[in-house]
């Protein structure tokens, strides 16, 4: 199954992607994660990418598409994939349509104030990628799964968050029109388990029809 997950940063799409990946045996491809990995490996490309990410701006399409193309060629994408964070604009969507078809576009929605709150409080485990919040009861600053110290992403600082959400509003919303009836909008205001239950039902129905 070839899935696109749309949703602002902090909408919970990363968590949903991980669950879909486990249940439907398709890899989660997050262009944000790929970029952060490139930055860690310290190269000219990494420096270039960092100069966009750290200011909440989109990495230029030519770099993003090259990185995505390479990832989609890997053998684990043969039975499908979940794109998390790609496409971010219409040009990227058009380029993607030349590389691969798409079965469903899941649009995860959350009100703006809630998004801002989630991002400011978000903390991440550098080792296993688990996401925690300073607002959860029992928050210790260490990963619940592997005990590693949690960190705050550079672009999860309040001033950068505003830019990122603005970029999202301007560039991603038109994608919903672009994909038309392939889009299934799901509100993530309920509990994460309830939201995922709805997502899973959509995907199982789609699989049954295929």
Kindly tell me which residue out of 3, 16, 17, 59 binds ligand AMP, with binding defined by CB under 6 A: 59
**How far apart are the C-alpha atoms of 19 and 202, rounded to whole Å?**
14
Which residues have a Cβ under 8 Å from the Cβ of 58 and sit 6 or more positions away?
52, 64, 88, 89, 167, 171
Provide the minimum distance between the beta carbon of 209 and ligand AMP in the complex, in angstroms, as a whole number: 29
Kindly tell me which residue out of 1, 2, 32, 120 binds ligand AMP, with binding defined by CB under 6 A: 32
User: Which position among 13, 18, 36, 71 bears the catalytic label?
Assistant: 13
User: Which position among 117, 153, 157, 200 bears the catalytic label?
Assistant: 153
Query: Are the C-beta atoms of residues 93 and 175 closer than 8 Å to each other?
Result: yes
Q: Taking CB under 6 A as the rule, does residue 58 contact ligand AMP?
A: yes
Query: Are the C-beta atoms of residues 24 and 188 closer than 8 Å to each other?
Result: no
Kindly tell me which residue out of 71, 88, 118, 123 binds ligand AMP, with binding defined by CB under 6 A: 88
Residue with tokens 């950068």: 160
- Dihedral of CA atoms 46, 72, 154, 59 in degrees, nearest 10, equals 60
Catalytic status, residue 198: no
Catalytic status, residue 153: yes
Q: How many residues in the shown chain lie near ligand AMP by CB under 6 A?
A: 17
Q: Taking CB under 6 A as the rule, does residue 18 contact ligand AMP?
A: no
Chain positions 133 to 152 lying near ligand AMP, rule: CB under 6 A, are none
**How far apart are the C-alpha atoms of 106 and 198, rounded to whole Å?**
11
Instruction: Write out the residues near ligand AMP by the rule CB under 6 A.
Output: 9, 31-32, 35, 52-53, 56-59, 64, 85-86, 88, 92, 155, 164
């Amino acid at each position: 199954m070839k899935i696109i997950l749309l949703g602002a940063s902090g909408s919970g799409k990363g968590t949903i992607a991980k669950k879909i990946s486990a249940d439907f045996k398709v890899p989660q491809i997050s262009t944000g994660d790929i970029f952060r990995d490139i930055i860690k490996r310290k190269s000219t490309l990494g420096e270039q990418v960092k100069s966009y990410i750290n200011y909440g701006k989109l990495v230029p399409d030519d770099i993003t598409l090259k990185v995505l193309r390479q990832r989609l060629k890997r053998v684990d994408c043969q039975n499908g994939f979940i794109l998390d964070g790609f496409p971010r604009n219409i040009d990227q969507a058009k380029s993607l349509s030349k590389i691969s078809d798409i079965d469903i576009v899941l649009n995860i929605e959350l009100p703006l104030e809630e998004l801002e709150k989630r991002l400011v409080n978000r903390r991440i485990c550098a080792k296993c990628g688990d996401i925690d919040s300073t607002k959860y009861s029992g928050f210790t600053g260490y990963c619940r799964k592997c005990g590693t110290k949690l960190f705050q992403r550079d672009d999860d600082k309040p001033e950068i968050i505003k830019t990122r959400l603005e970029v999202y509003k301007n560039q991603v919303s038109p994608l919903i029109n672009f994909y038309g009836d392939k889009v299934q909008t799901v509100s993530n205001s309920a509990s994460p388990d309830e939201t995922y239950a709805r997502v899973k039902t959509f995907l199982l129905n789609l699989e049954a029809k295929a």
